[in-house]
């Protein structure tokens, strides 16, 4: 889904030309050489190999964590945790593909309020953010479950 939406954005949007969808939401093609939400995008170029290696390492870790959970009797039924890790893993791989092949990530979702524009992002960033939120929720639910025992 991430790669498909990036391809559609590149085929149908002009670089830095906003297409208003509704107030507070634009589609705007941008390229990001940094991390999520344009972090380190102005660095001198060292960030490409750094983020490729980091993303690869994180993806491998998440894959094996997910595999370990599916083999763990106590956690294999924890669908929230599996969904959280899967979203983060999918998002990491989506941006890793861009970064490894093109040296930059394609962003096209732009959210704003009044004159404040949040950094542009993509479906992979959304999956990572949603997955991180679900991971935090799962941790809170696990603490509550442990307190109830």
Count CB atoms within 10 A of the CB of residue 132.
14
d(CA 5, CA 73): 37
CA angle 88, 101, 4 (to 5 degrees): 60
DSSP annotation of 115? T
Q: What is the pLDDT of residue 145?
A: 72
Each of the 149 residues of the chain gets a pLDDT tens digit; together they read 999 999 999 999 999 999 999 999 999 999 988 766 566 666 666 777 888 898 999 999 999 999 999 888 777 788 999 999 999 999 999 999 999 999 889 999 999 999 999 999 999 999 999 999 999 999 998 877 777 66
d(CA 21, CA 29): 14
Residue written as token pair 């990572």 = 128
Q: What is the pLDDT of residue 43?
A: 61
Q: What is the pLDDT of residue 147?
A: 72
Cα atoms found within 13 Å of the Cα of residue 134, Cβ hemisphere only = 17
Q: What is the pLDDT of residue 38?
A: 61
Q: What is the pLDDT of residue 109?
A: 96
Global confidence as pTM: 0.85
d(CA 92, CA 35): 11
Tell the burial category of 71 from Cβ atoms under 10 Å away from its Cβ (0-12, 13-18, 19+).
exposed
Q: Which residues are catalytic?
A: 107, 125
Q: What SS3 state is found at 117?
A: strand
């Amino acid at each position: 889904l991430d790669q498909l939406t990036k391809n559609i954005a590149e085929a149908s949007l002009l670089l830095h030309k906003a297409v208003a969808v509704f107030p507070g939401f634009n589609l705007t093609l941008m390229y990001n050489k940094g991390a999520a939400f344009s972090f380190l995008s102005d660095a001198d170029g060292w960030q490409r190999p750094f983020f490729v290696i980091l993303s690869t390492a994180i993806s491998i870790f998440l894959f094996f964590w997910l595999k370990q959970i599916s083999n763990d009797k106590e956690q294999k039924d924890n669908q929230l945790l599996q969904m959280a890790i899967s979203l983060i893993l999918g998002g990491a791989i989506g941006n890793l593909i861009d970064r490894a092949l093109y040296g930059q990530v394609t962003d096209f979702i732009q959210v704003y309020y009044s004159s404040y524009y949040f950094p542009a992002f993509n479906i992979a960033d959304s999956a990572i953010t949603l997955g991180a939120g679900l991971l935090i929720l799962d941790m809170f639910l696990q603490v509550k479950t442990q307190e109830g025992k």
